[in-house]
Each structure stands twice: as C-alpha cells, then as structure tokens.
Amino acid sequence: MKFIATDVDDSAGKMREKLEVAQAARGRAIDPYFYRSHLVYERELQELVFRSWIYAGHVSEVPRAGDYLLLEIGEDSVIIVRDGDGQVHALMNICRHRGARVCEDATGNRKTFVCPYHGWVYQTDGSLKAARDMELLEGFSTGDHGLKKARVAVYMGLIFINCNTDAADFLGPLSNLEEPLGAYDLENAKVAHKHTYRVDANWKLVLENYLECYHCATSHRAYARMHTLKDLDYKVKDVVQAMLDRTEEVTGVKGMGKEYHATYRDAEGFGACCYTSRYGLFDGYLTGSEDGQPVAPLMGHIQGYDGGAGDFQMGPLSFMLNYPDHCVLYRFIPRGLTATDMEVVWFVNGDAREGIDYDRDKVTWLWHHTTLEDEYIITRNSAGVNSRFFEPGPYHPEYEETLQQFVDWYLDTLAGAL
C-alpha cells in the first residue's frame, strides 16, 4: 500500500496556523497536515534533519584508507570515507563544478572520486586534486573547490554526521553514556548484519512508532513476552528493580544501570539528544531472541546476563537496544514525503565467528520479525492519518510521553523557523 499525500492549497501561512493550533492542543496526536504537506517536508529537512546528528556507520565498515559508504538522506547523498591519514570524512556527494554526483556505488574503496561528467578528481579527504583544462580560467584555484563537508563525530566506533557545519558539539553530550555504552566495547564490535527497511510512510510516523511501546503488547507478541517495557511502570517495577539491584555485580560493569535523559528540547545542543536507561526482561529471559536465550558470546566487558537490556538514544533519529550478547541499532531517515528508510544494524562481539559462535538468523530473528510488524502497523497508521476524516486523539500520559517530547521539539523547531 502506498499513499501519495498531498495538500492542494498549501502555504507558509497555512503552516503557521497549523503549528499554532497544534501547539495549543498539546497532548494530542498532530494534524494530518504535517504528514501530507510538501512544504512541511522541505522545512523538516532544512530545520531538523540536516541540523541533527545522525548515525552514519561503524568504523569497521570503513577500515582501510579509501573505504567508503554512502548515506542517503532525503534526496541527498553523503560519502563517509576514510582518507590516507586514517581520518573519517563526510563529503557531500555533489561535484563542485556543475553538481553531478561524484560517487555512485553504495560502498567500495577509492583512491580518488572522479566526477563522471567532466572528470574533476577529488581526494578522499574531499580536496580537489585536478580539474581538467581549468588552467584557462584566470584565478581558478583547486583549493577553493573541494567537496563540501558535513561534520563528523566518532564515538565508540559509531560514526555520526551533521550536515550543519555550525552544529553543536556531540561528543560532550555522548560522554554521558560512557559507562553503560562502554560495556559493549562497540569500537571493536562486529556488524553481524544490517538491513534497510523502506517504509511507505512519512518519517514521523515511523519514528513515533519507535518512541512508544503502547503498541508493543498488541503488535509485538514475541517482544512483549520478554520485555517489561510493554507494561506500565508500576506493574513491572519489582522486576526492573531486581535487575537494577544485580546488574553491576552480574555484568561486572560499574554504572551499567545508569539513567540519563537529555533529549529533544532538553538536549545539550540542538539535534544532540542523548538518553540511556536499563530496563528489565521478564524472569527466565536473558536476551532478545526468539526464545529469550543467548544467541552470541557476551559483548565487550560484560561478564554475565543480568536480565536487562540497555536503551540508548544518540541524536533525534538514532537509537540502540543493547542486550548482553548483541546490540541492535535503529536509525530513521526521511527519503521523501511518504518514504522512510528504517535502518537496523545488529552488532556482536568483534571476535565472534559467524556459523561457529553465532547464527546470523538467530541473532536477527527478534528485531527482524518485530520490524516487519512495525512496518505493517505503520503503513496502516499512514493510511488512516492521510484521510481527511482523521481527527487526532489523546496521547497516553505514560506510554506516549517520549513521543510527546519529540512532538514538542518538532513543533517548536518548525514554528521557530517560520
């Protein structure tokens, strides 16, 4: 099912009006207008997406000089590449002559990037090496025509980029996650599998779905059997507290149960959200697998199964759900008004050997299965939201609290930009 959303009499004035109404009606789902308007979508890219820190890849995906991968955001493309000095760059994939893409293949290794149009040649650090016959243009300097760059922050092997060159620092906020995230030794982890799920729905619907677990009990039977997040806090507080009481001793990691919350409006810098907490699995379950039993060797410095899972957010669009034996990263990227790339990356211990220490299908089972369930429900959500007859209802005060925080930030940012 694919829905082409449109709003035939759209304008900046209408957007302003809709934003005012939405801000005044806090506590309810937002107007269908925000999922249907092409003007809103362009604003979102400009004011939110291209000003936010976004997970781009893992260092092990670009281990050698010249290794690169492309990151597609909206209609744009960014080259994540390691240069000859070992530094990782994020280069805008747009030739500085007349704008052709300089790199086509999604991954690879290059000594240089040669524009297919007129042959300008760029180094892996983005600088322009040669521009054929341009010596005829007086005053032309290759030094002025390097590929544009996005900001890069590498934290524990995770590469983040921000297309806003004036972006707020991200490494400072991320350092608040150090104790619990460091436990997994992600720097030396291995990408066991990754997959891009293209969802035919507006990116906000896809993100909103991730930000609440009200739907978990009804949409995710396998997940809900194991994870306490599907219940209200007061119903599972004993299970969670018991896990928190033993986590440091069992895992051997100080600060494993740390809670830190600075996201959206409360983020230390714009688009630099950071969050962590540890929540419990029901008794008898050790990890997020089909039967709740281990599927890979313990990660990093973790010494045992405490019956918990680490929940992390890094930037507005990137998240991790970390079990003692594997980690699952989620990233949401708009690719059009009604198209979203939901990227899921599974990490295992760097020494783990596929087929010997772990079976890829077993590691990926739960979140592949759960993601397909999400895709199903999100596209049904999109169908309803895109109807002129949809009237937004109230958010749940606990289950949908985080979703409300996202919406507050979203509406504020768009309103502030108008």
Provide the binding-site residues for ligand FES, judged by CB under 6 A: 95, 97-100, 115, 117-120
Contact region with Fe ion (CB under 5 A), list: 33-41, 138-146, 293-301, 373-381: 373-381
Cβ nearer to Fe ion, comparing 117 with 376 = 376
Q: How far is the CB of 145 from ligand FES (least distance, A)?
A: 10
| Phi, psi angles (nearest 5°) of residue 307 | 75, 25
Cβ nearer to ligand FES, comparing 15 with 95 = 95
Contact region with Fe ion (CB under 5 A), list: 75-83, 250-258, 283-291, 372-380: 372-380
Sheet of 54-58, strand order? 54-58, 158-162, 149-155, 88-92, 76-82, 67-73, 107-109
Cβ nearer to Fe ion, comparing 67 with 374 = 374
118 interface partner picked from ligand FES, Fe ion, none, CB below 5 to 8 A per type: ligand FES
Cβ nearer to ligand FES, comparing 143 with 393 = 143
| Phi, psi angles (nearest 5°) of residue 194 | -145, 155
Q: How far is the CB of 149 from ligand FES (least distance, A)?
A: 17
Residue 336, burial from CB neighbour count under 10 angstroms (0-12, 13-18, 19+): middle
Residues in contact with 87: Cβ distance below 8 Å, sequence separation at least 6, in sequence order? 125
C-beta neighbour count of 19 within 10 angstroms: 23
Contact region with Fe ion (CB under 5 A), list: 161-169, 323-331, 368-376, 394-402: 368-376
Q: How far is the CB of 71 from ligand FES (least distance, A)?
A: 20
Distance from C-alpha of 193 to C-alpha of 359, rounded to nearest angstrom: 11
Distance from C-alpha of 35 to C-alpha of 37, rounded to nearest angstrom: 6
Cβ nearer to Fe ion, comparing 103 with 211 = 211
Q: Which amino acid is at 257?
A: G
**212 in contact with Fe ion (CB under 5 A):** no
Select from 318, 178, 323, 156 the least CA-distant residue to 260: 178
374 interface partner picked from ligand FES, Fe ion, none, CB below 5 to 8 A per type: Fe ion
Q: Tell me which DSSP letter residue 265 carries.
A: G
Contact region with Fe ion (CB under 5 A), list: 79-87, 110-118, 261-269, 374-382: 374-382
159 interface partner picked from Fe ion, ligand FES, none, CB below 5 to 8 A per type: none
Distance from C-alpha of 388 to C-alpha of 269, rounded to nearest angstrom: 37
394 interface partner picked from ligand FES, Fe ion, none, CB below 5 to 8 A per type: none
Distance from C-alpha of 223 to C-alpha of 76, rounded to nearest angstrom: 34
Q: Which of 374, 385, 400, 411 binds Fe ion (CB under 5 A)?
A: 374
Q: How far is the CB of 118 from ligand FES (least distance, A)?
A: 3
Cβ nearer to ligand FES, comparing 101 with 149 = 101
Long-range contacts from 386-395, C-beta under 8 angstroms, 24+ separation = 386/3, 386/5, 386/32, 386/35, 386/36, 387/32, 388/32, 390/32, 392/25, 392/28, 392/29, 392/30, 392/31, 392/32, 393/28, 393/29, 394/27, 394/28, 394/29, 395/27, 395/28, 395/29
115 interface partner picked from ligand FES, Fe ion, none, CB below 5 to 8 A per type: ligand FES
95 interface partner picked from ligand FES, Fe ion, none, CB below 5 to 8 A per type: ligand FES
Q: Which residues make up the interface to Fe ion (CB under 5 A)?
A: 374
